[in-house]
Amino acid sequence: MAVQTWFITGSSRGFGRSLATAALEAGDQVVATARRPEQLAALAERFGDRVLPVALDVTDAAAAVAALDTARDRFGRVDVIVNNAGYANVAPVETARVDDFRRQFETNFWGVYNVSRAALPLLRAQGGGTVVQFSSVGGRVGGTAGLGSYQAAKFGIDGLTRVLAAETAPLGIRYLVVEPGGFATDWAGASMDVQAVPEEYRETVGAFADLVRGGGSAGDPDRAADILVRVVKREHLPGHLLLGGGAARMAVDHSRRQIAEAEAWRTVSGSADSGAEYPVELPADVA
């Protein structure tokens, strides 16, 4: 297979760093972006001119365009766009600092939007490419107390990507939404701010804060990165890729509950149509 060029946001640590390393070890080229590109010096030293460190704040739309132009000028094309940059802080929605809630969304959703939108003209001009969007299993299942901004953004990424896939279907652009569970990265470490939890939210948000502070994530980011490199090189991609056994179990259980609920309320749903039988009996009012 021909050498591919990857453009990876948030390459200084975590999944981004593991993925950049895995792609380079596979013989590919990587444009590794970070807010502080000096953090990428070890990659450049190890892999030489096959890696191009680039400064990028994904919340800056003009900077995203400039970074992709730099990538194209250096390597001629970009085959794989990876929107990985993101972070989460923990707080109840009611008491979370509004400026912090917005800043998280700026990175976790608008950063993905900025890079994806900037990449489209490049991918169209070269006849295609692959866009990998990092979500999380929480972006499918949701409902994690304390992660209101983060999970809202991840749900938004999935919705945006589904629309992009429909709009660009004739253009040779492929999409993969990655949904990891708990992994041994810095996501729940120094990059996460756990804000004060009021007593009213002690049993919900507080319990989750205690869980993430306890560590013990099962996932190996290097293994996940190797899996992703191998998957991206396939001719046919899954639309979504869960990473981690726990994530797969959560997703399957969630889907089963969704199907069961839709089936239970199907007659009621259909009764809203003009000409359908109405009214109909509601399902039994039990949990």
Query: Which residues are designated catalytic?
Result: 135, 150, 154
Task: Say how far apart CA 9 and CA 31 lie, in whole Å.
Answer: 9
Q: How far is CA 213 from CA 12, 59, 206, 210, 216, in A?
A: 22, 28, 11, 5, 9
Outline where DSSP puts E strands in the chain.
Answer: 5-8, 29-34, 51-55, 80-83, 129-134, 173-180, 240-243
Helix %, strand %, coil % of the chain (to 5): 50, 15, 35
CA dist., res. 89 & res. 100, Å (int): 8
Question: Looking at the DSSP assignment, which residues form a beta bridge with residue 54?
Answer: 33
Alpha carbon of 260 to those of 143, 246, 257: distances in Å? 18, 21, 5
- What type of residue sits at position 136? S
Phi, psi of 92, deg, nearest 5: -65, 145
